[in-house]
Amino acid sequence: MGHSAAVWDYRAATEVIKDWNGTDKVVLRNPQGASARVSLRGGQVTSWRNEQGEELLFTSSKAIFKPPKAVRGGIPICFPQFGNCGSLEQHGFARNKIWTIEENPPPLNPNDSHGKSFIDLLLKPSEEDLKCWPHSFEFRLRVSLAADGSLTLISRVRNVNGKAFRFSFAYHTYLSVSDISEVRIEGLETLDYLDNLCHKQRFTEQGDAITFESEVDRAYLSTPNVVAVLDHERKRTYVIRKEGLPDVVVWNPWEKKSKSMVDFGDDEYKQMLCVDGAAIEKPVTLKPGEEWTGRLELSVVPSTFCSEHFDLKSGGF
Ligand code: TA6
């Protein structure tokens, strides 16, 4: 009789620790050795490592881990406002709030838990928040790590208010790359974008894949649900799948802007690229009792595998 494979206890693979400044942080692990870390400060994923222990997300060596400054790296959550397009602080307040762990959230699709290590976080507005954004909401965030090492973030925003409200949103994803000049993005060709370096003027992306040789700060509109970021030097491709997030923000501060940011190293722009699943152009409107879901799945495949087998249009292998 064959030996039964030891069953991996996913609950045990979810551990809550305190980080160096006393903030609770959740560590997720999978049987193959991959891991992810989620800080309760901002519900921010601060680390995502593959089976070899290699860090897949960028965090600046100059990142400031003291509130109110948001941590420069990982995946900050921009809510209820993206950027400075509104009356709130840049990128909203959610990334600066302490979230709580929710033991029994309303159920998700069983596939979102089966064979995954996961944690459920909850954010509700404080009295202070309601003064600057007078809308009662419940923001549920599930972060999960699958057996294949892929990382999924599922945001559910419920309007528990008496009247409708609108918000914009982004998963501000700092990808770690080998050399920005060796990176290309596939899936955004020929799409319109709002250029944040040109007063949000609207342009249409020319040619084929996007490459980088200067500062880029754009919101691509009505994008496909799958985008690929190819890092040639590392022979690695980030596959970004998303739902409920029609836009994609692409940001690299390049040299000059890097020097102007206190929490960013002068040359660090060479090792990072932000590619954010977002809902910006058409803010999400929720009537009382309604709920919005924004889903982001990040996976990594060897570039060779990707170009031979991956069809962006179908989003499948
Ligand atoms: O995502 C692009 C962007 O809005 C840029 O304009 C840049 O400001 C970046 O976000 C970082 O914002 P932060 O508030 O984290 O400094």
14-31 pLDDT, tens digit per residue, is 999 998 888 999 999 999
Average pLDDT of 230-252?
A: 97
Query: Which residue owns the Cα nearest ligand 1 atom 6?
Result: 217
Task: At 160, list the tokens.
Answer: 């528990």
Distance between CA atoms of residues 285 and 222, nearest Å: 17
Q: Which positions make up the binding site for substrate?
A: 72, 90, 95
pLDDT of residue 273: 98
pLDDT of residue 302: 87
Distance between CA atoms of residues 83 and 92, nearest Å: 8
Mean pLDDT, the chain, integer: 93
Domain boundaries, the chain: 11-311
Burial 166-204 (b: 16+ CB within 10 A, else e): ebbbbbbbbbbbeebeebebbbbeebebbebeeeeeeee
pLDDT of residue 3: 46
Query: Which residue owns the Cα nearest ligand 1 atom 2?
Result: 251
Distance between CA atoms of residues 79 and 184, nearest Å: 28
Cα of 148 vs centre of ligand 1, distance in Å, is: 31
Cα of 10 vs centre of ligand 1, distance in Å, is: 35
For 11-311, which CATH class?
Answer: mainly beta
91 within ligand 1 shell (Cβ under 6 A): yes
Q: Where are the beta strands (DSSP E) in the chain?
A: 14-18, 24-29, 35-39, 44-49, 77-78, 100-101, 116-123, 137-146, 151-159, 165-171, 174-176, 183-186, 192-195, 201-204, 216-220, 226-231, 236-243, 247-252, 272-286, 291-302
42 within ligand 1 shell (Cβ under 6 A): no
Task: At 42, list the tokens.
Answer: 């901002």
**0.85 exceeded by pTM:** yes
Q: Using the 8-state DSSP alphabet, how is residue 180 labeled? A: G
84 within ligand 1 shell (Cβ under 6 A): no
92 within ligand 1 shell (Cβ under 6 A): no
83 within ligand 1 shell (Cβ under 6 A): yes
Q: Is 69 helix (H, G, I), strand (E, B) or coil?
A: coil
- Answer whether residue 1 shows pLDDT above 60: no
- Answer whether residue 236 shows pLDDT above 70: yes
Q: For 87-133, what is each residue's pLDDT tens digit? A: 999 999 999 999 999 999 999 999 999 999 999 999 999 999 999 99
CA dihedral (302, 13, 58, 141) positive or negative: positive
183 within ligand 1 shell (Cβ under 6 A): no
pLDDT of residue 304: 67
C-alpha to C-alpha distances, 274 to 240, 248, 270, nearest whole angstrom? 12, 10, 12
